[in-house]
C-alpha cells in the first residue's frame, strides 16, 4: 500500500515566500501524487485563516509540477500580489498501465484534465476530479491560511490551458477568473484532442467529448459572467499545425454575453516557457484584479 501521508518533500525560500514540493496519496487517481505550492510572504509570515487567494496553474503535455515552478518566473509577481500558486502534476504516475509511456501526448504526462471512462484508464486517469475536488481538499486540510473555495482562480499552458478553460467554464462561479497561454481551445477538432479523447473516453459517443471542449462550453456557458485572458504566440508551431484553434474559442465567446474572452496574438512568440515567462506578470495582475 502506498504511503497515504501528506508530506513536505522539499522547500526553498524565494522572494520572501516559500516554494515547496509536497506529496500525498490520491484516492481518486490511486497513486502517490506530487504538487508544488508557492506560499507568498503574506501566508508564510503572518498567516490569517482563509485569507490568501489561490491561483491554480495547470501545465502542458510532458510536464510535471516542476516546469512552471522553475521556468515560469511567476513567483516574484505572486509574492508582490500576495497570491498562492498551486501547481499540480499533469497525470497519474507509476500506475503501470499498458502503453502509458509509449507517446508524449497520451498516458503519462498527458492526463488532459478529464475523467476517463474507458478501461483501463478510468481506474486512474481522473485528473478533472483530482484538480476540482481532491487537491483543494488536501490544500484546505493542510493550509488553513489559503482561501480555498472562496478566492480561487485558474490558468495554464497548452494542455493545461485547455484544462483551465474547461474547469472554469464547467464550474460556473467556482473560479473568479481564468487565463491561458496557447491553450488547446477546440480539442474535439484537433489531432491531440482526438487521440486523447478516443483513448480516454472512447469514440462510440463523441457527444461525451464536448464536456471537455472549451469552445463548445463557451457557446453554452450561462454564467455568472467570467473574464478570460488568452495569450497566443504567432510563431507557435502548434498553432500552425492546427492543434490550438484559438479562433474557434474567440468566435464562440463573442456570441455569449456571459463570457468575455480577450485573445491577444503576440507577434513572434512560440510555444515555449520563454513565451510564458514574458507574459506571466500580466496574467498574475489579471487574476489579482478579481481575487484581491
Pairwise CA distance, residues 159 & 20, whole Å: 24
> Would residue 236 show up in a list of annotated catalytic residues for this protein?
yes
Measured CA to CA, the distance from residue 47 to residue 16 in angstroms comes to: 14
Catalytic residue among 24, 236, 283, 287: 236
For 71-86, give one letter per residue: b (16+ CB within 10 A) or e: ebebbebbbbbbbbbb
Task: List the catalytic residue out of 157, 271, 283, 287.
Answer: 271
Beta bridge partners of 7: 23
260 three-state secondary structure: strand
Integer Cα distance of 119 and 69 in angstroms: 33
Q: Which of 158, 177, 179, 215 is catalytic?
A: 158
What are the CA-CA distances from residue 98 to residues 78, 109, 119, 221, 237 (Å)? 40, 15, 11, 37, 30
CA distance 285 to 227: 13
CA-wise closest residue to 233 among 199, 269, 185: 269
Question: Which of 38, 134, 133, 29 shows the shortest CA–CA distance to 82?
Answer: 38
Number of alpha helices (DSSP H) and beta strands (DSSP E) in the chain: 11, 9
SS3 at position 174: coil
Is there a catalytic annotation at residue 158?
yes
Task: Mark whether 96 is an active-site residue.
Answer: no
Active site residues: 158, 236, 271
Amino acid at each position: 500500500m502506498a504511503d497515504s501521508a501528506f508530506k513536505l518533500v522539499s522547500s526553498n525560500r524565494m522572494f520572501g515566500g516559500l516554494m515547496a514540493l509536497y506529496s500525498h496519496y490520491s484516492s481518486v487517481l490511486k497513486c502517490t501524487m506530487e504538487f508544488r505550492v508557492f506560499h507568498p510572504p503574506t501566508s508564510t509570515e503572518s498567516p490569517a485563516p482563509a485569507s490568501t487567494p489561490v491561483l491554480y496553474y495547470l501545465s502542458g503535455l510532458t510536464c510535471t509540477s516542476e516546469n512552471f515552478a522553475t521556468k515560469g518566473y511567476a513567483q516574484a509577481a505572486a509574492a508582490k500580489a500576495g497570491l498562492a500558486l498551486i501547481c499540480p502534476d499533469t497525470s497519474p504516475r507509476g500506475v503501470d498501465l499498458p502503453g502509458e509511456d509509449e507517446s508524449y501526448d497520451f498516458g503519462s504526462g498527458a492526463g488532459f484534465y478529464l475523467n476517463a471512462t474507458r478501461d483501463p484508464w478510468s481506474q486512474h486517469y481522473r485528473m478533472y476530479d483530482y484538480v476540482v475536488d481532491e487537491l483543494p481538499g488536501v490544500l484546505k486540510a493542510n493550509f488553513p491560511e489559503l482561501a480555498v473555495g472562496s478566492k480561487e482562480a485558474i490558468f495554464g499552458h497548452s494542455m493545461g490551458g485547455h484544462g483551465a478553460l474547461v474547469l472554469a467554464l464547467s464550474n460556473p462561479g467556482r473560479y473568479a477568473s481564468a487565463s491561458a497561454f496557447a491553450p488547446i481551445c477546440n480539442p474535439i477538432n484537433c489531432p491531440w484532442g482526438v487521440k486523447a479523447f478516443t483513448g480516454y473516453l472512447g469514440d462510440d459517443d463523441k457527444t461525451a467529448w464536448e464536456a471537455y471542449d472549451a469552445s463548445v462550453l463557451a457557446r453554452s456557458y450561462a454564467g455568472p459572467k467570467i473574464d478570460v485572458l488568452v495569450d497566443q504566440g504567432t510563431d507557435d508551431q502548434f498553432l500552425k499545425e492546427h492543434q490550438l484553434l484559438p479562433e474557434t474559442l474567440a468566435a464562440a465567446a463573442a456570441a455569449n454575453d456571459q463570457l468575455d474572452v480577450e485573445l491577444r496574438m503576440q507577434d513572434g512568440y512560440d510555444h515555449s516557457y520563454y513565451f510564458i515567462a514574458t507574459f506571466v506578470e500580466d496574467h498574475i495582475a489579471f487574476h489579482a484584479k478579481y481575487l484581491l
